[in-house]
């Protein structure tokens, strides 16, 4: 009958044949766009503001903890939000995350010392960990499978634009009104986001979802993540990779990870969503996302440095040369969403996108640092990387099913954070290890240096992340042929 309601998909609970109206689309997009924007931009917003913060509060030696404290808190809380969202409702958990994020932003704006700011950033990260995860899970809960690629493409564009624009916006705000406004500006955005999210349906709760009561698993994961990220972030900078400190941290991280894995796999309802990884295709999708994030964030962080040191461009010029990469990311996300929406086959695009990215990054590793050439290769790299996130979210939502949408989103979120950390730390370790004896700080301030040696070091770094992109493409080829 014409007026009969379509039958819901038993795996997702969504109506497969229902079409989302323009009004529904705008309501959901505006409600979830702001939390995603806040989550993404806060990871890179302070990149250009750190010197001004250190000049005001002191403690330049510890300024890296401004970013590390936030990253640690996000990493630790991502799986927690996924589990709690499945049990208590994803919309309500998103509101909790917004509240904690706002409290952390207020504390950051009012900080009077570096220690206070670092602790406030940890509090902010405890909220930030739920913004992206719960937003992605709500898309899977409220949008039919066929319509998800359209939504994921737009939200992936928001994520990539926010990540790349963070350093630019941070520099402008610090230069005009001061660094405290970087945090104060979050408050009206959080209030607006809260009002819009409250208009969404409360959704379905699954009180029997596991993992929430595994407090030992939570503690082990927090300790393992902290040790791993401190080692990756400070290795080669605060201590040598082969030093006793490095060996102690790496050993502690490995032992904690092994203990955590052995414990979690034996529990019926573990904290980490290990049961998601047992579903065919989820592990390959997780590795693919980790490789994607490693390539994206390593390119964003190190391409401007490469241009300034290798070609002698100014900070503004190197920032402008990131625009082709940004444009490619947006175009790639949009095109992928449309392709998947029409073909209903999200598994076909990730291997192609990562293959294009691998070729572009490999060419960056063998060509001279000419601005026009880097712009062209950046555009191609962005086109390739832009095609990953929209498909990945749709695939993981289909594979995990409606009951585990939060755990599935948390799995990808955790893979993204770990991949970003590995990519940036690994690129820096490889490139700077080849530049021993070169005064990089002096070159940043205009002093002459061995530019040829520096270019060679960065070329090795680009070739290394090109190999990661290729590894991601090979794993993406093993994904099951998901049909929407």
The domain spanning residue 476 has which CATH number?
Answer: 1.20.1250.20
Q: Looking at residue 380, what is its pLDDT? A: 93
Is 5 domain-assigned?
no
- Same domain assignment for residues 337 and 399: yes
On the question of pLDDT at 167 being above 80, the answer is no
- Contact between residue 26 and residue 199 where contact means Cβ atoms under 8 Å apart: no
Q: Looking at residue 386, what is its pLDDT? A: 84
Q: Looking at residue 207, what is its pLDDT? A: 67
- Same domain assignment for residues 427 and 446: yes
On the question of pLDDT at 447 being above 60, the answer is no
Is 138 domain-assigned?
yes
On whether the pTM is more than 0.85, the answer is no
| Domain span at 352 | 273-484
Is 12 domain-assigned?
no
Q: Looking at residue 13, what is its pLDDT? A: 42
On the question of pLDDT at 55 being above 80, the answer is no
- Contact between residue 337 and residue 463 where contact means Cβ atoms under 8 Å apart: no
Is 9 domain-assigned?
no
Could you give the number of structural domains in the chain?
A: 3
- Same domain assignment for residues 248 and 297: no
Q: Which band of pLDDT confidence, cut at 50, 70 and 90, is reported for residue 276?
A: confident
- Contact between residue 294 and residue 420 where contact means Cβ atoms under 8 Å apart: yes
Greatest mean pLDDT among 61-70, 308-317, 380-389: 380-389
- Spatial separation of the C-alpha atoms in residues 422 and 228, rounded to whole Å: 10
Is 191 domain-assigned?
yes
- Spatial separation of the C-alpha atoms in residues 45 and 363, rounded to whole Å: 29
- Same domain assignment for residues 289 and 437: yes
- Same domain assignment for residues 78 and 198: yes
Q: Looking at residue 211, what is its pLDDT? A: 53
- Same domain assignment for residues 281 and 238: no
Q: Looking at residue 103, what is its pLDDT? A: 95
Helices and strands in the chain: count of H runs, count of E runs: 20, 0
Q: What is the mean pLDDT of residues 386-404?
A: 79
Q: What is the mean pLDDT of the chain?
A: 78
Is 3 domain-assigned?
no
The residue from 224, 239, 266 where one domain ends is: 266
pLDDT digits (tens, 9 = 90+) for 408-444: 777 887 888 788 777 777 776 676 666 665 555 555 5
On the question of pLDDT at 319 being above 70, the answer is no
Range from 162-176, 211-225, 256-270, 465-479 carrying the lowest mean pLDDT: 162-176
285 or 174: which leads in pLDDT: 285
Is 11 domain-assigned?
no
The residue from 226, 244, 266 where one domain ends is: 266
Q: Which band of pLDDT confidence, cut at 50, 70 and 90, is reported for residue 108?
A: very high
265 or 361: which leads in pLDDT: 361
- Same domain assignment for residues 258 and 325: no
Is 129 domain-assigned?
yes
Question: Which tokens sit at 434?
Answer: 């080849």
**CA–CA distances in Å: residue 83 to residues 185, 283, 355, 396:** 30, 18, 34, 15
**Which DSSP state fits 113?**
S
- Same domain assignment for residues 151 and 237: no
- Same domain assignment for residues 233 and 160: no
Q: Looking at residue 100, what is its pLDDT? A: 95
- Contact between residue 193 and residue 35 where contact means Cβ atoms under 8 Å apart: yes
- Same domain assignment for residues 249 and 392: no
- Same domain assignment for residues 425 and 306: yes
Q: Looking at residue 215, what is its pLDDT? A: 78
- Spatial separation of the C-alpha atoms in residues 101 and 134, rounded to whole Å: 14
Q: Looking at residue 239, what is its pLDDT? A: 77
Closest by CA position to 370, among listed 312, 417, 328: 312
Range from 252-256, 311-315, 347-351 carrying the lowest mean pLDDT: 311-315
Q: Looking at residue 267, what is its pLDDT? A: 78
**Which DSSP state fits 404?**
G
- Same domain assignment for residues 180 and 319: no
């Amino acid at each position: 009958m014409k007026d009969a309601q379509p039958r819901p998909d038993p795996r997702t609970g969504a109506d497969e044949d229902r079409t989302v109206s323009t009004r529904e689309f705008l309501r959901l997009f505006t409600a979830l766009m702001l939390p995603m924007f806040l989550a993404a931009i806060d990871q890179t917003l302070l990149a250009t503001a750190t010197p001004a913060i250190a000049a005001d509060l002191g403690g330049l030696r510890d300024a890296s903890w401004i970013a590390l404290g936030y990253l640690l808190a996000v990493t630790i809380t991502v799986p927690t939000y996924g589990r709690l969202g499945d049990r208590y409702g994803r919309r309500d958990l998103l509101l909790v995350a917004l509240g904690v994020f706002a409290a952390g932003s207020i504390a950051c704006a009012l900080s009077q010392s570096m220690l206070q700011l670092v602790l406030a950033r940890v509090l902010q990260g405890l909220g930030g960990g739920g913004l992206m995860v719960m937003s992605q899970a709500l898309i899977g809960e409220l949008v039919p499978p066929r319509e998800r690629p359209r939504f994921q493409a737009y939200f992936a564009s928001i994520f990539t634009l926010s990540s790349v624009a963070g350093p630019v916006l941070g520099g402008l705000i610090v230069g005009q009104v001061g660094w405290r406004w970087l945090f104060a500006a979050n408050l009206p955005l959080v209030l607006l986001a809260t009002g819009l999210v409250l208009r969404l349906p409360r959704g379905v709760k699954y009180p029997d979802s596991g993992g929430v009561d595994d407090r030992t698993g939570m503690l082990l994961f927090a300790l393992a993540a902290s040790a791993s990220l401190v080692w990756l972030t400070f290795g080669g900078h605060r201590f040598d990779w082969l030093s006793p400190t490095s060996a102690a941290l790496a050993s502690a991280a490995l032992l904690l990870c092994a203990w955590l894995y052995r414990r979690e796999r034996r529990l019926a309802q573990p904290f980490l969503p290990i049961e998601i990884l047992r579903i065919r295709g989820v592990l390959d999708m997780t590795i693919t996302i980790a490789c994607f994030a490693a390539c994206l964030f390593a390119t964003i962080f190190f391409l401007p440095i490469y241009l300034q040191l290798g070609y002698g461009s100014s900070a503004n010029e190197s920032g402008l040369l990131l625009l082709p990469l940004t444009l490619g990311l947006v175009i790639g996300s949009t095109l992928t969403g449309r392709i998947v929406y029409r073909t209903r086959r999200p598994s076909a695009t990730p291997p192609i996108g990562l293959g294009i990215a691998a070729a572009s990054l490999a060419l960056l590793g063998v060509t001279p640092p000419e601005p026009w050439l880097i712009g062209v290769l950046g555009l191609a790299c962005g086109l390739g990387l832009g095609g990953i996130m929209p498909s990945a979210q749709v695939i993981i939502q289909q594979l995990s099913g409606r009951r585990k949408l939060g755990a599935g989103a948390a799995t990808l979120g955790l893979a993204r954070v770990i991949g970003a950390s590995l990519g940036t730390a690994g690129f820096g370790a490889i490139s700077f290890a080849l530049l021993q004896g070169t005064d990089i700080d002096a070159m940043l301030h205009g002093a002459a240096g061995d530019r040829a040696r520096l270019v060679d070091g960065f070329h090795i770094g680009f070739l290394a992340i090109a190999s990661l992109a290729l590894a991601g493409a090979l794993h993406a080829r093993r994904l099951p042929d998901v049909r929407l």
